[in-house]
Amino acid sequence: MLLAALALILGLVLLVYSADRFITGAAVSAHYLGVSSMVIGLIIIGFGTSAPEMVVSAVASWQGNSELALGNAVGSNITNTSLVLGIGILITPLLVRSETIRRELPLLIVVTFLVLLLMLDGEQSRLDGVVLLVCMLLVTLWLGWLGTRQRDEPDALREHVRQELAVDMSKPAALGWLAFGIVMLPLASHFMVYGATEIAHALGVSDVVIGLTIVALGTSLPELAATIASAIKKEHDLLLGNIVGSNLFNLLGVLGISATINPYRLPPGFLEHDYLFMTTLTIAFAAISWWYVRQQKVLSRPIGLLLVLCYGGYMTWLATR
């Protein structure tokens, strides 16, 4: 038990650090190679913060712990939409743009129900995984295309990327950190999956519960860090974009990768309890955002407190079920 706990902590620390170094190395390397700011921004903001979830789920599925991967994906979305977003709103009231209501949030709801549709047969097949990965590719291309058509967002994104790349890093150093991340991400994930699995077995709880709690919170730390930084700078679009983008990648990429590597059956009650809670949170936040946009108001701190309390209530329920 002690060895498993140490492996989990070591894996978590290495995972967060190596993910940060991997994304910084990739972004700076792309900058030196002349890649556009928009593409670098998509790497940093979109794919980057979901890299831990993807690698952990891939390693878990490869080792036959598909329930851990499943819990990680859905638990990360619950953590993002309640705890992470709630903390962001507590730091600064959130201004939701009308474009987000018309585009990104409805897309997230559509993807949420698409995944639900694929899960109704009680399993995630390899074909389901391929469908989700193809959808992830299409969504990424679509968002990139939208970004090239809107002149105001690339300027803001370019400034954000400029700040992200304001580091004294040479091209060899960037390539070195990129290689470091490629090697360390799977290794850190291996430690984390081993520790989480052993703890789950020692405590007599299922892998999916460990994935919904400890692993989901650990892999959501990059999203939390990005959200806090965006909230302090009052960058409302980046704050919400980080959450919505990460949730999209979790549903399409994380679940897609895990099912493609190792198809699995859903644990009993997962759809009726955990997935339903995630879906309810997503729809409720979209509805509240729509109402506040209609009223031309910002999401106030009581909303943030309510989201954090929802996370606490869900964790309490998981601990007692």
Are 245 and 43 spatial neighbours (Cβ–Cβ below 8 Å)? no
**Given this model, what pLDDT does residue 48 score?**
63
Model confidence, pTM: 0.80
Distance spanning both ends of the chain, measured CA to CA: 22
**Given this model, what pLDDT does residue 284 score?**
93
Cα–chain center distance at 197 = 21
Q: What angle do CA 244, 310, 207 make, to 5 degrees?
A: 80
**Given this model, what pLDDT does residue 69 score?**
86
**Given this model, what pLDDT does residue 150 score?**
53
Phi, psi of 28 (to 5 degrees): -70, -40
For residue 195 the two structure tokens come to 């520790």
* pLDDT tens sequence for the chain (321 residues): 788 888 888 887 887 787 777 767 776 776 677 655 445 555 555 566 677 778 788 888 888 888 888 998 999 999 999 999 999 999 988 887 766 567 778 989 999 999 999 999 999 999 999 999 999 989 888 776 765 565 444 444 455 555 555 556 778 888 888 788 777 877 777 787 778 778 877 878 887 888 888 888 877 877 777 778 778 877 777 677 778 888 988 899 999 999 999 999 999 999 999 999 999 999 999 898 888 888 778 888 999 999 999 999 999 998 887
Taken in order of first residue, the domains within the chain and their CATH numbers are 2-320 (1.20.1420.30)
**Given this model, what pLDDT does residue 146 score?**
64
Q: How far apart are CA 54 and CA 46, in angstroms?
A: 12
**Given this model, what pLDDT does residue 34 score?**
67
**Given this model, what pLDDT does residue 157 score?**
47
**Given this model, what pLDDT does residue 270 score?**
93
Neighbouring residues of 14: CB distance < 8 A, sequence distance ≥ 6: 184, 187, 188, 191
